[in-house]
Structures are given as C-alpha cells and as structure tokens.
Structure 1
Amino acid sequence: MRGEFNGLKVLILQENDTVFYIYCFAHQLQLVVVAVAKKHDGVSNFFEQISMVVNVVCASCTRKDLLREQAREGVQKGLCGGELETERRLNQDTTLVRAEDTRWGSHFNTLTSLMKLFSDVLIVLEFVKVDGGSLANRQQASGILAYFKSYEFVFTYI
C-alpha cells in the first residue's frame, strides 16, 4: 500500500497531489497484536497448530468434501432434533477459514470456524491419520490429534 515507487499512495498522489494519505490504524493494530502474540510461546504454538489444521484439512478436494459431508450430516441431525434453527444464512459454514496476519479479525474467524466444525475436523483428521496420502500427512494428522487431546490445547483454547 505504501510502496515508495509503485504503492497505492504513490499512484493516488500522481493523480491528485492534494490528497492526504492516512495509514489504516486498525491494520497497524492488527500487525502489533499478531507480533506480540507470536512472542508468547504458548500462543504462537497454538496458532501454528491451528494453521496446520487448516492446511491438513483443506489440502485436498477429498478432505474438503469429507468435511462438507460431515457438516451436512450434522446440520441434518440438528434440524431433525430441533437443536438448530432454519433462518437465512444460518448453518452454512462448511470450511475452515485461513488466518492472515494482515486481515483484521481473521484469527477470530479461523477460531470461530474451527469451533463450529470441530467434531467434523476431528473426523477428517482421523481419516488422514489412517488413509493419508503419505507418511508425512499421516504423522502430521496424528500430531494434531495428539495436540487436541493435550492439556495445553484445552487450556489455551478455552
């Protein structure tokens, strides 16, 4: 955005030299929060694990389809049991959201989508642990499942 030669600021100032450029303070705040969080070992490890979950679960179409199918079955059971309501835009989250350091609230959206799909994600991870394409994939899924069962995860997540 602020590139010295090709940034948006320069392009705008070339068109109109009377414009003032004000850097987004919310963006700066997000970068500061992410930088501070990465300095804390527990928080940094937590978000690295969450990032690995998104990478493993969303790595192939088969895994994404399995996640969607599990979510669909869960919604059907919830609707039949009266646990879920049917309104516009409800019950539509069927994938995990990738966190980005520069997007305001993306870490929150990642955690929210993981909370909604947690049981479905566990099923996909179990599938990868057993039928993963490579040894590395199976080991990664196994490590994530072990982390989910650890005291550290439960303490950090809750």
Structure 2
Amino acid sequence: MSLDKYFKRKSLEDEESIKASSHVTQSSSKKSHIEINSDTLLADPGLRRPIYEYHINDRDAIRRAYLQKGPCQPSHYDFPQKQFGNISTLRCFNPAWFGAYPTWLEYSIAKDAAFCLYCYLFKLKGGVDSFTVKSQSDYRTRLNASIECARFLLHQGLPFRGHDECECSSNQGNYLELLHFLSRNNEAIKRVTFSEAPKHNKLTSPDIQKDITQAAAEEITNVIIKDLGESLFSILIDESRDISIKEQMAVVIRYVDNNGHIIERFLGIQHVSDTTASSLKAAIEALFSKHGLSISRLRGQGYDGASNMREA
C-alpha cells in the first residue's frame, strides 16, 4: 500500500536543506557554550563580570566554578584603615570575619568593600524579585519590633530573660512577653513574628537580644561622648566581682554640660586582672583610648575602697 497520498515525498534538495539547517543550529548551540576554567575566573568580587551577562546556558557552569573556587578572602592583605563618623579611632575590615563566615563573605581589594558570594551568583538583573523584597520588608518589621522591645526594657532597667522560655511556659520573660504583646495588638507585627517567621530568623534568641543590647549601648555611649565634647571631666570608679568571680571596674564620668548642669554618666565596665593601682591605670587608659578621651582633660578621680589602691 502506497503512503504517497498521505505524506508528501521530500525531494533530495529538501533533505539537504534540512541537514544544513540542523548543522547550523547545532554549531550555534555549541558556540553558546564556553569552556569554564576556575583558574581564569576573576577572584576579586569588585571586578567580576555580572552573572547575568553570561549566556544563559553557561550561568550554571559559572556558578559551579565559583562555588568550587570559594569566596575571595585575602586574609594576609594589609587592609586600609578609615575613620567613621565622629570617632577618632581608625577602623578597617577584620580578617577574623572570614573565619566566622567562611562560605560566603568576600572582600574586594579593588573596591575596599565586603561582598556576598551567594548574592553575586543568584542575584537577578536589575535588582531582586518581589519575593525577596517582601522578605526584606518582613525582616525590617520583625527587627524594628525586636528593637522597640529592647529599648523599652533598657529604658526601664528591666531584665530580658525568663526562667522558662519554652513555648508552653506561662511566662517566657520580659522580652518575649513584650514581643507577644506587640504581635497581639499589631497585625503587621503578628504576620512576621514567632510562628510566622522563618525558623532561622525569628530574632528572639538570647544571642540576638545581646546583639541588640550591645548596639544600643554603643549608640548611647557615642551620645555621651558627643555631649561631653572637649569639656573637662572627672571619673568615679568602683571595683567589684561579677557572677563569674572576675574582677571588673565600673567607670562613671562627671562633667558640666553646656547648660551648666552637673552630669554623671555611666561610661562602661572594664575587666581587670586584679585591683592594683597599675592594673586600674592600664584599664583606664584602655577605656580612654577606646572612646577617644584625653587624660589631659581629666580633673578628678574618685575610688570606692581605698584598700584596693595598693602598690603593684
């Protein structure tokens, strides 16, 4: 039975044309791929070609090569120091951060800036997608709620932690209970906290509470130093042991502000090896250096417990 009436027979010229076009398609497809050599890929994140500029068929290979190569972490580089804000102390990139974030943190020598390897490999052209934008917005709302709880507790001088902070506890402590209160009375906060937040990003752990408290302490200290300005001041020092039986020195500065009021502000706590005069002097000098204070402006010193002021 002949199939000519069902299928049109192709001529020899048609068959040659199909073969030629197929060969061109295969050749162009092969040309779209490039040979990936991890040794030739630019290591410096500030000089790399954006991942979206590579051909779409080559991007996964580029990503695998960079993941195998690892983040750019020049630990033996002499990182330049810069001054930030009104603090006279110079700061620079800390190579110890490479140990804390070994899989993704990068540093660009060309740009003197830190980068994220994963952000480079998976960031979309023209910015981030709507899901990422929403995640960032949710995180900002969750972080602001956590900061507000910490600010209230710090202002009132209340403890953060509770005796039993498990989910079945009737009293999880001031920080968590206050965050629960905010979530019950604010729908925007309720949608992004506790069970609605990612398991790794709830911002309720003790470490997060300590980080927020430390950040608040640094901001408050900066305000005190700024208010002090170039004025003369005195220091009041008391020595005591903390709960771990380590010697520590609490420092309070006393000065007159621009309105003529006598101000006393807690400056910080310094751990000391012992309470000899030489140890206290070294701790005071270290604290002054940290906050950019000059000992030449010191006009008075007060110590509680004269028995501790003995020779080294």
What TM-score comes out, normalization by structure 1 length? 0.32
The structure that has the greater radius of gyration is 2
Query: Higher relative CO (CA 8 A, sep ≥ 6), structure 1 or 2?
Result: 1
* Higher share in helix: 1
What TM-score comes out, normalization by structure 2 length? 0.19
